[in-house]
Chains A and B, each alone.
Chain A
């Protein structure tokens, strides 16, 4: 079985540009979460989607948005890129939902974004 797949793996953008990151969850997983990880820090929660609805949002500006498609894949969009957006963006899928118990996350390999 394929794990969580993310694309692209690496990308370089300049300040002010827009970026779209993509994620395909494990088959059967209906929940996708997005995290930002800066070097030396733990993953910071950005969004969680379950059954195509936003179920959680972290403390990130409105420049960050996401959506989940009918096949449960997801996109993270970041507008007006800043130097500080340079980070590893992690997607994680899970079976999380009402009454599903502990939200065990399986992470993809990540998309490393560099903003120049």
Chain B
């Protein structure tokens, strides 16, 4: 079982729609959870992080965490073509400094 799993996609949504990206993790004691965005040929950049159960909103982005289900999601409202990128879910496992990334989900927003 991979430590962080994501559907590789691609996920295609029309402009203005809500994009929903999902991630599961294996270490139940994981502490912090992150969403990074990576444009083609660029390095990852942080969108947001969450460490408490529930929702966390930042502009058009909402991260959702359910530790009981070991599930993290990212919702992108009013999707724009500029949101087309690979979205990486990342986790800090318990007791460690390392951050483990999933394989990423490719998102295409069609104009």
Contacts and interface: CB of A to CB of B under 8 A. Distances in A.
A107 B101 CA distance: 13
A43 B98 contact: no
A7 to B, nearest CB: 14
Interface of A: 31, 33, 35, 40-45, 48, 50, 55-56, 58, 90, 96, 101-110
26 contacts: A33-B97, A33-B98, A33-B99, A40-B103, A41-B103, A42-B101, A43-B101, A48-B97, A50-B97, A55-B96, A55-B97, A56-B96, A56-B98, A90-B43, A90-B44, A96-B97, A101-B32, A101-B51, A102-B32, A103-B32, A103-B97, A105-B36, A105-B44, A105-B90, A108-B43, A109-B42
Interface of B: 4, 6, 31-32, 34, 36, 42-46, 49, 51, 88, 90, 92, 96-104
